[in-house]
Structure 1
Amino acid sequence: MPAVAGAAALLALAGCGSGGAAAAKTPPTATGSLESLAAEVKCAPDIQTDADTIRQAICAGASGKFVLATFSTDRGQREWIDEAKDYGGFYLVGRKWVAVGDDGVVHALRGTLGGDVEAGADHHAHTG
């Protein structure tokens, strides 16, 4: 019985270590204009909003379809994310930029752009 407990403990520790290895593979967070970020993930951005405070585009790349937005200020970015998260979804957040898409797309983009993943509100429990 102690051997089984020891093996289970080793497997648990190995599992913890593999998460660290995956995190180590995440590149430094990208910076730049909407166009340069889009070029990093090989998409031609379809610009939807081109204002002084926010630029927003729809992108379709190898990882799927997503929204890419850049902001003129950190505060403007955080306010936008905080409001958008009420609608659910997954957000890849960098300095003054965000990519929004489904979970798989956001995690695939993270492999190129770096950044932090944030999840919006979960609406699965709500009934219509």
Structure 2
Amino acid sequence: MRLPRPMTSALLGAALLALTGCGSQDSGTSVPPTATGSLEHLAAEAECAPDMQTDADEIRQAICRNGDGKFVLATFATDRGQREWINEAKDYGGHYLVGRKWVAVGDTDVVTALRGTLGGMIEEGRSHGGGGHH
């Protein structure tokens, strides 16, 4: 079985380095029910036109931009595939808005704003505090 995980991780890493920054998490006050649906449906809810980067059976991944900023939006065929992707991606840092078989990744302000639209739970990547990174 061949999975394109190394390529997916490399693409994700490049996207995250371009998108993420340091910042403190700000918890939103009003969170709607977690959105579900296709990548296109979620992008429409977030008011962005997805720039598709990966379109495969296991994962669909796009870069989106809306009034709040730029983020990566990914949908998954399985819960397990989603969790494996998140676990690998967290090595790159960043903030993750996690829903049922989807995730949005960006900096704190963007993810917090998206949560007000898409619902979901915010998870943080592994950041090695102490400054020194972008």
Q: Give per-residue Cα distances to partners, 1:44-88, cap 9 Å, x unaligned.
A: 000000000000000000110000000000000000000100110
Max Rg structure: 1
Distance 2:111 2:104 in 1: 7
- Counterpart selection for 1:92 from 89, 92, 97: 97
Which of 28, 31, 53 does residue 26 from structure 1 map onto? 31
Q: 1:51 aligns with which of 47, 52, 56?
A: 56
1:123 Cα deviation from its structure 2 partner: 2.5
Q: Normalising by the residue count of structure 1, what TM-score does the alignment of the two structures yield?
A: 0.79
Letter in 1 for 2:111: V
CA distance in 2, matches of 1:110, 1:59: 15
More helix by share: 1
Q: How does 1:3-42 map to 2 (within 5 A)?
A: 22=29, 25-42=30-47
Work out the CA distance in 2 between the residues paired with 1:58 and 1:126.
27
**Which stretches in structure 1 are left out of the alignment for 5+ residues?**
1-18
Q: Which has the higher contact order (CA 8 A, sep 6+)?
A: 2
Amino acid corresponding to residue 120 of structure 1 in structure 2: G
> CA, structure 1 residues 122+43, in 2 after alignment: closer, same or farther (shift >3 Å)?
same
Asked whether 1:65 is paired with 2:64, we answer: no
- For residues 82 and 126 of structure 1, what CA distance do their matches in structure 2 show? 23
Identity of aligned residues (%): 72
In the alignment, residue 85 of structure 1 is paired with which amino acid?
Answer: K
2:124 and 2:105 mapped to 1: Cα distance?
10
Q: What's the counterpart of residue 11 of structure 2?
A: none
Structure 2: give runs of 5+ residues left out of the alignment: 1-26
Q: How many angstroms does 1:99 deviate by?
A: 0.1
Partners in 2 of 1:50 and 1:124 — Cα distance?
34
- TM-score normalized with structure 2 length: 0.76
1:9 alignment counterpart: none
Alignment of 1:74-89 (within 5 A): 74-89=79-94
How far 1:127 moved relative to its partner?
5.2
